[in-house]
Amino acid sequence: MMWVIALAIWTTLLVGARLAMSRDLFRVVVGLALISSGIVLMLFASGRVSSAEPAVIAAGGTVLPTTAANPLPQALVLTAIVIGFALICFAFILVVRVVRDADTDSAEDLRFAEPVPTHAVEPPASPEGCDPQHPDDVIRAAHPHDRAGTHARTSAGGRP
């Protein structure tokens, strides 16, 4: 049983690491989610998976039975799942915004889209006339009844 869990942990971590090294931003976020799941599985496995007895102290007792499951990894796993889910949702929102603004989901294209730094410490200044508002936001404000906007934007891969 423990070998199956160890194999599941390593498979999840390896697939997550492979996806995290991808050029596609969505794959990177999915890879980070799989790495998080692999770590959660590792914490889960550290709490005596084979024990069928719950981590409950019997009435009148003061100590957990030695055959009971360890409650600390269970609490850590539950906390890690909640925090990991929230962070992955936030990362997906950021990726969607980056893809929408940059018209690409390639990490390499995004790297070349950065302006060339002119100073070692200060970030490069925005070009003159650069508006931080996205053009689709202006179109949506002009046409509030049209939810999809008036034109479809495509990424470098040709997907809408």
pLDDT for the residue 105:
85
* pLDDT tens series, the chain, 160 aa: 788 989 999 999 999 999 999 988 999 999 999 999 999 988 888 876 666 677 788 888 888 877 777 778 888 889 999 999 999 999 999 999 988 888 888 888 887 777 777 777 877 666 665 555 555 666 666 666 655 544 444 444 444 4
Domain range list for the chain: 2-51+68-116+130-142
Q: Are 28 and 16 contacting, i.e. CB atoms less than 8 angstroms apart?
A: no
The whole model's pTM is what?
0.63
Distance, CA of 4 to CA of 14 (rounded, Å): 15
Phi, psi of 106 (to 5 degrees): -90, 125
Distance, CA of 131 to CA of 87 (rounded, Å): 29
CATH number of 2-51+68-116+130-142: 1.10.287
Distance, CA of 7 to CA of 4 (rounded, Å): 5
Distance, CA of 71 to CA of 55 (rounded, Å): 6
